[in-house]
Amino acid sequence: MSSLFEEVAPDPVGEVPTRRVTITVNGQRRAAEIEPRLLLAHLLRQGFKLTGTHTGCDTTNCGACTVLFDGHPIKSCTMLAVQADGHEVQTVEGLASSQQLSPVQEGFKQEHGLQCGFCTPGMMMAATALLEENDDPTEDEVRFALSGNLCRCTGYQNIVKAVLWAAAKKRGVAPAEEE
Ligand code: FES
Ligand code: FES
């Protein structure tokens, strides 16, 4: 079965029309020769090996594939990879810097905002986008921002607490930390 992408190298057989794209992913320019039908989620996972972006439905319902596209949260199963050509994408792998967790990642750890973890990357990206715009959200605003992301495990309570924890951390208000 032919691959839908080939990073940098063109389709060796030349049977399938491909297009070269260059996308800045987590601050790094990445190039790939891809079929036009390839979804961004699949380029990230299979082409760039960034498997933190999950795919749960491929139909825009679950939010597990949420990434930031030029700073805005999008469902990467709903965008063709060619549409990302020339743009910036941030995935969950890009949240931590120099071994330092981002406030949102820390919040999920502190408030036990995950169980199986399948929804967690998408939740974190949606939460990160919210806190970039509003670092003092109400509980309702957090719930609204995460309303496109489904979780089958937690009942959402601790996810909301995690995002409020992260917001406090971003504002410099010391949230309670566990030992
Ligand atoms: S995999 Fe994209 S929304 Fe579910
Ligand atoms: S923690 Fe399991 S789906 Fe959310």
* Structural domains for the chain: 19-94 (3.10.20.30), 103-171 (1.10.150.120)
pLDDT of residue 1: 41
Mean pLDDT, to the nearest integer, of 14-37? 93
Residue 44's nearest CA partner among 89, 108, 96 is: 89
| Ligand number, closest to the Cα atom of 75 | 1
Closest residue by Cα to atom 2, ligand 2, is: 116
pLDDT value at 151 more than 70: yes
Closest residue by Cα to atom 4, ligand 2, is: 151
- Structure tokens that stand for 37 in this block: 């039908």
Pair 163, 104: CB distance under 8 Å: yes
pLDDT value at 11 more than 60: no
Residues with CB under 6 A from ligand 1: 55-58, 60-65, 75, 77
Residues with CB under 6 A from ligand 2: 114-120, 151-154
pLDDT value at 8 more than 80: no
Angstrom distance (rounded) from CA 116 to CA 128: 20
Atom nearest to 61 CA in ligand 1: 3
CA of 66 to the centre of ligand 1 (A): 7
Q: What is the pLDDT of the chain when averaged over all its residues?
A: 92
CA of 92 to the centre of ligand 2 (A): 15
DSSP string for 26-48: TTEEEEEEE-TT-BHHHIIIIIS
Mean pLDDT, to the nearest integer, of 121-148? 98
Closest residue by Cα to atom 3, ligand 1, is: 60
As a whole number of Å, the end-to-end CA separation of the chain is 50
pLDDT of residue 6: 55
Atom nearest to 58 CA in ligand 1: 1
**What letter would DSSP give residue 109?**
H
pLDDT of residue 16: 78
Phi, psi of 5 (to 5 degrees): -145, 165
pLDDT value at 167 more than 60: yes
CA of 34 to the centre of ligand 2 (A): 31
